[in-house]
Chains A and B, each alone.
Chain A
């Protein structure tokens, strides 16, 4: 039993070894190749047996007994079996040995605890070497105390989890570097006209005035009413515990809002809605629910750079990028999905779902009905989930029709179990600060699990009460969405037009806050390096923070993402002027 346990613990290392062991023995279908293989595997056991045999046995006789069969192996007489088993076993013991001693770097100063007893079954052997004659654990002397120890430097630094180091490392992508730089030196029309202009954060400030008007008039009523509520009836006020997955009133309001925004005859069932503190935890919770550590999701590229963190950090789930090309206007093809799926499978990775963003971020195009159908077909064929991120559904402005995944499901009534939607108010209602995300799923198990996980990320009650009033105000919502769409569309046309004058083409966008611009004409070399150089120039010389395509895992270099919703119309000429200056220096060189 113990060896079993140890073997499973030691797998990462053992695995890698066994893999090449297999690859050695695989092609040996004929005797001649077998011979070659054997001699290739030999050096390892030879070295090892020299070092391990004295410890496990003594005397030349036994040594000979090992060497003789090994010689047989070399000369091709030992057979495959011994040739593979012996090195393997030796490595196995080496693993065990290493593992034992790697485990305890934490307390090197304490000889008593740093070497655990080799046999697990004998509890009384370990304390005896340091605790003198006392063998009973209860009588174990508490030798360490404040008086005996110098308080510093005794134990070495305490270690944190390995997750921490990977999380800390991941902050170095240009996406986050750029955001940070803007924080240090933000542009202001009057106050800091030489500062960095933020074009890298997906936030919409075009319609905040509407929100402010509403809050001025209604906030007080919405919240004070909420507190008073708890005195009269037993139901929830703003102070007391709420259902972690959201108030029913808010779920109803959100479901209504979603139907309204998607402009279709879709109705969302409030009981299939789970509320979380933002879209980020919504995606993470879904990842926890749909995949286990080591599984993967397929994600068409370019995708939003934040997704890597949201999906991968804590869940241990991988993202497999499915490259899309400018030739297809960056829309996903089933062939590409299929190829990525099969490649993942060959690598031994289990794909559990596809995450799409519709309207896509950062490109801004929409999935048409046919693509959605074929996605569903693909998912059904592969038995995987589909997560449709429809954060920007209410921020469409183009002529094309937006088709929600829910719309498809409604019509076809396929096996809905595999379809999950993520929504939020941070984009469509310009309220990222409110941290309101939505999971909508047709899968009972997923719903049950997400409801429980919502306790790690629930929306505060004052926020919920305010939102109930806001979303229930149908007149306000309608007006807001309409005006916001108009403003977004106008801004896009203006911004894309400005870029066009500089000779920079954008993909045709139908929604979202971005211009996805092809600046490959300006990069010094057609590579990621060239792209970074331009990004660096834009940030440091032109003082514009944009997102380079490589952060979005775009495979074609030279694409950049400009988020225009933090600008006012007055800012656009400033931005264009700054880009122009850079583009001139770039063209000069080439």
Chain B
């Protein structure tokens, strides 16, 4: 700030750039081997670059020979080895420092915008002439287009992730059994439509009571129209806590005061990221991970995700060694790791983390003093034989420092209500809770939805029935889908939960590489008209894996899907 003030000041302040001028002038004058070796390589550039600024100054001081000599003499000393370590290291260092300084100042304003022009000095700002007005300006084209922020710029660009490309493609041409049998079948969106009939039945029976209240009256309208706490109504938190205890916690009771409600799990994760990490910090995330994380976490918070690679030989369960390695590597790159984000049951693999691994993660986090974010949004979507263990259960039984553990939950998957946008942050850390509560003003649930959900979640008979039926239906569709794939020789990784299967199609890809995988994905999307998520979108390091979400299919759709895959599989096998 001071600098710009000085620059615009009409009285010239010569000495600011005296040293710059002297250096460059002396260089051009002597031009000897000595000088060249001093100002070697990259060294010269900063000088010439820095010089550009002073040239815009109206008055230029003439370099005097005396000052030049004062500079050169010690420098010669450096060259001839008499300057010693200190000068030899300090001078280049300082010059680099100025280069940094210069670049930094000039990087943030974009090149297209004009730099603060020193040519309009005005000692009295108040009487600055208002030159432009409608009359003397042509309204168009006189100025360039207005700029948006760099974060918006990167978001506004077309999607480059295969995950989003596929999703968009389906939107244009969705499959329908009767209306559009040649459309694209959606296997890329993790959504469950198997039990919508149950939801619909409940809503039609209970709607009026839940929203307007059974007694009606003045209280009910201000109950939904008025401002409510942004982090959710207390009744809703109580209902959610008991629902979570039933669904994911088993014996654990969740404390409503530790719940913060958000408009979906996506903002829940983003808000947590804002709370746990600063711009430039990083989270460790075991791969393959949900492809949406890249955008959800990184785009606005500036937090980096560091993939921790897992392999099919371990059934994609991460190892502490791999975590440790990723942690150390991040640290060496100068990144501060603030948390580890685990998804349990895992998306896209569908496996459940064993109890032992959860303990290990806790140990690891304690050792490194980082947070743990447990995304347990599929906690109630377990259909296999294995038992799901919530992080809350581990914390309940063990006397550990809970401050570092935060659980994400939502109703989009377990209650198949993604349209309701109900997300939960469950944290054991009071400052995170306090901050998250304030941040929910940017993403709060509408009261109408909350009223509806309070009744729905409190209706234990309904939820119990729903979960029984849902589990059975998901299991059925999973079994027939996996069996269908197996007939084609496609094996799926062992899965116990979720709404997807993780299929190994590496036999079908032309080359064992990401390129081969994307070629197959392209064929599946454009020829077979099936949108699946390729493993590379999930940062899986082994090529050939695909995520197929099956919970929007009905039993009749499965033969169609399998047949479409078969057609592509045949073309793939014949050339190889």
A residues in contact with B101, CB < 8 Å: 14-15, 18
**Cβ contact of A11, chosen from B104, B328, B334, cutoff 8 A:** B104
16 further A-B pairs in the complex, CB-CB below 8 A; given A62-B86, A92-B97, A144-B363: A7-B100, A18-B97, A110-B367, A140-B321, A154-B366, A161-B275, A163-B278, A208-B221, A212-B221, A291-B149, A380-B143, A415-B143, A435-B263, A445-B156, A452-B156, A453-B155
A-B contact pairs, 25 of them (CB 8 A): A4-B100, A23-B6, A29-B13, A56-B85, A78-B70, A81-B23, A81-B71, A123-B332, A161-B278, A161-B338, A164-B434, A203-B227, A216-B216, A230-B193, A234-B174, A240-B418, A278-B444, A339-B125, A373-B134, A383-B113, A384-B146, A414-B139, A433-B228, A434-B446, A455-B267
A residues in contact with B208, CB < 8 Å: 219-220
Produce 1/0 per residue, A23-45, CB < 8 A to B. Answer: 10111110000100000000000
B431 contacts partner chain A, Cβ-Cβ < 8 Å? yes
Q: Please indicate which of the listed interface residues B89, B143, B435 has the most CB atoms of chain A within 10 Å of its own CB.
A: B435
Contact indicator A23/B420 (Cβ below 8 Å)? no
B5 contacts partner chain A, Cβ-Cβ < 8 Å? yes
Closest residue to A225 on the B side, CB-wise? B204
Interface segment, one of A256-264, A459-467, A574-582: A459-467
Produce 1/0 per residue, B62-77, CB < 8 A to A. Answer: 0000010011001000
Nearest-CB distance from A339 to chain B (Å)? 6
Tell me the complex Cα distance, A467–B419, Å: 15
Produce 1/0 per residue, B85-106, CB < 8 A to A. Answer: 1110111011111001100100
Known: A29-B14, A160-B275, A453-B300. A142 touches B403 (CB 8 A): no
Contact indicator B401/A155 (Cβ below 8 Å)? yes
Known: A239-B199, A240-B419, A348-B1. A445 touches B435 (CB 8 A): no
Q: Does more than half of chain A's interface fall in helix, strand or loop, or is it mixed?
A: helix
Contact indicator A448/B85 (Cβ below 8 Å)? no
User: Which of B397-433 touch A at CB < 8 Å?
Assistant: 398-401, 403-404, 412, 416-422, 429, 431-432
Interface segment, one of B368-376, B511-519, B567-575: B368-376
Contact indicator A280/B15 (Cβ below 8 Å)? no
Produce 1/0 per residue, A568-589, CB < 8 A to B. Answer: 0000000000000000000000
A94 contacts partner chain B, Cβ-Cβ < 8 Å? no
Known: A156-B369, A240-B196, A415-B139. A277 touches B444 (CB 8 A): yes
User: Which of B34-87 touch A at CB < 8 Å?
Assistant: 67, 70-71, 74, 82-87
B residues in contact with A449, CB < 8 Å: 148, 151-153, 155-156
Contact indicator A446/B148 (Cβ below 8 Å)? yes
Q: Please indicate which of the listed interface residues B207, B279, B404 has the most CB atoms of chain A within 10 Å of its own CB.
A: B207
Interface segment, one of A292-300, A324-332, A481-489, A542-550: A292-300
Nearest-CB distance from B467 to chain A (Å)? 16
Tell me the complex Cα distance, A22–B370, Å: 41
Contact indicator B222/A23 (Cβ below 8 Å)? no
A residues in contact with B320, CB < 8 Å: 142
Known: A140-B321, A347-B1. A334 touches B221 (CB 8 A): no
A residues in contact with B270, CB < 8 Å: 456
Contact indicator B324/A23 (Cβ below 8 Å)? no
Tell me the complex Cα distance, A7–B334, Å: 13
B109 contacts partner chain A, Cβ-Cβ < 8 Å? yes
Contact indicator A335/B126 (Cβ below 8 Å)? yes
Known: A219-B212, A463-B449. A238 touches B399 (CB 8 A): no
**Cβ contact of B416, chosen from A239, A278, A377, cutoff 8 A:** A239
Nearest-CB distance from B205 to chain A (Å)? 10
A227 contacts partner chain B, Cβ-Cβ < 8 Å? yes
Produce 1/0 per residue, A347-378, CB < 8 A to B. Answer: 11010100000000000000000000110010
B residues in contact with A164, CB < 8 Å: 275, 431-432, 434-435
Query: Interface range on chain A: under 10, 10 to 19, 20 to 34, or 35 or more?
Result: 35 or more
Contact indicator A314/B221 (Cβ below 8 Å)? no
A158 contacts partner chain B, Cβ-Cβ < 8 Å? yes
Closest residue to A338 on the B side, CB-wise? B128
Contact indicator B13/A27 (Cβ below 8 Å)? yes
B residues in contact with A335, CB < 8 Å: 126, 130
Closest residue to B90 on the A side, CB-wise? A89
A567 contacts partner chain B, Cβ-Cβ < 8 Å? no
B295 contacts partner chain A, Cβ-Cβ < 8 Å? yes
Tell me the complex Cα distance, A97–B255, Å: 45
**Cβ contact of B369, chosen from A53, A155, A379, cutoff 8 A:** A155
Tell me the complex Cα distance, A290–B275, Å: 23
Produce 1/0 per residue, B147-164, CB < 8 A to A. Answer: 111111101100000000
Tell me the complex Cα distance, A336–B299, Å: 35
User: Which of B214-238 touch A at CB < 8 Å?
Assistant: 216, 218, 220-222, 224-228
Contact indicator B152/A288 (Cβ below 8 Å)? yes
A residues in contact with B18, CB < 8 Å: 80
Contact indicator A56/B86 (Cβ below 8 Å)? yes
B residues in contact with A138, CB < 8 Å: 321, 325
Closest residue to B164 on the A side, CB-wise? A452
B residues in contact with A78, CB < 8 Å: 70, 74
Contact indicator A460/B419 (Cβ below 8 Å)? yes
B residues in contact with A384, CB < 8 Å: 146
Q: Please indicate which of the listed interface residues B71, B137, B199, B442 has the most CB atoms of chain A within 10 Å of its own CB.
A: B442
B residues in contact with A314, CB < 8 Å: 274, 300-301, 439, 442
Nearest-CB distance from A316 to chain B (Å)? 8
Closest residue to B135 on the A side, CB-wise? A377
A residues in contact with B216, CB < 8 Å: 216
A98 contacts partner chain B, Cβ-Cβ < 8 Å? no
Contact indicator A227/B203 (Cβ below 8 Å)? yes
Closest residue to A285 on the B side, CB-wise? B442
User: Which of A70-87 touch B at CB < 8 Å?
Assistant: 77-82, 84-86
User: Which of A1-23 touch B at CB < 8 Å?
Assistant: 3-5, 7-9, 11, 14-15, 18-20, 22-23
Closest residue to A287 on the B side, CB-wise? B149
A491 contacts partner chain B, Cβ-Cβ < 8 Å? no
B307 contacts partner chain A, Cβ-Cβ < 8 Å? no
Contact indicator B151/A152 (Cβ below 8 Å)? no
A553 contacts partner chain B, Cβ-Cβ < 8 Å? no
Known: A84-B19, A223-B203, A314-B274. A7 touches B97 (CB 8 A): yes
Nearest-CB distance from B131 to chain A (Å)? 8
Known: A417-B145, A458-B263. A380 touches B443 (CB 8 A): no
A309 contacts partner chain B, Cβ-Cβ < 8 Å? yes
User: Which of A246-277 touch B at CB < 8 Å?
Assistant: 277
Tell me the complex Cα distance, A79–B64, Å: 12
A residues in contact with B116, CB < 8 Å: 345
Tell me the complex Cα distance, A415–B146, Å: 9
Contact indicator B445/A435 (Cβ below 8 Å)? yes
A149 contacts partner chain B, Cβ-Cβ < 8 Å? yes
**Cβ contact of B438, chosen from A167, A316, A432, cutoff 8 A:** A167
A residues in contact with B444, CB < 8 Å: 277-278, 435
Tell me the complex Cα distance, A167–B84, Å: 50
Nearest-CB distance from A233 to chain B (Å)? 8
Known: A216-B216, A383-B144, A414-B139. A277 touches B128 (CB 8 A): no
B331 contacts partner chain A, Cβ-Cβ < 8 Å? yes
B191 contacts partner chain A, Cβ-Cβ < 8 Å? yes
Contact indicator A224/B222 (Cβ below 8 Å)? no
Known: A164-B435, A280-B441, A466-B448. A452 touches B295 (CB 8 A): yes
Produce 1/0 per residue, A379-391, CB < 8 A to B. Answer: 1110111000000
Contact indicator B19/A81 (Cβ below 8 Å)? yes
A151 contacts partner chain B, Cβ-Cβ < 8 Å? yes
Contact indicator A417/B146 (Cβ below 8 Å)? yes
B336 contacts partner chain A, Cβ-Cβ < 8 Å? yes
B28 contacts partner chain A, Cβ-Cβ < 8 Å? no
Known: A89-B94, A116-B332, A430-B225. A350 touches B152 (CB 8 A): no
Tell me the complex Cα distance, A352–B100, Å: 25
Q: Please indicate which of the listed interface residues B131, B152, B401, B441 has the most CB atoms of chain A within 10 Å of its own CB.
A: B152
B residues in contact with A446, CB < 8 Å: 148, 152, 156
Closest residue to B404 on the A side, CB-wise? A158
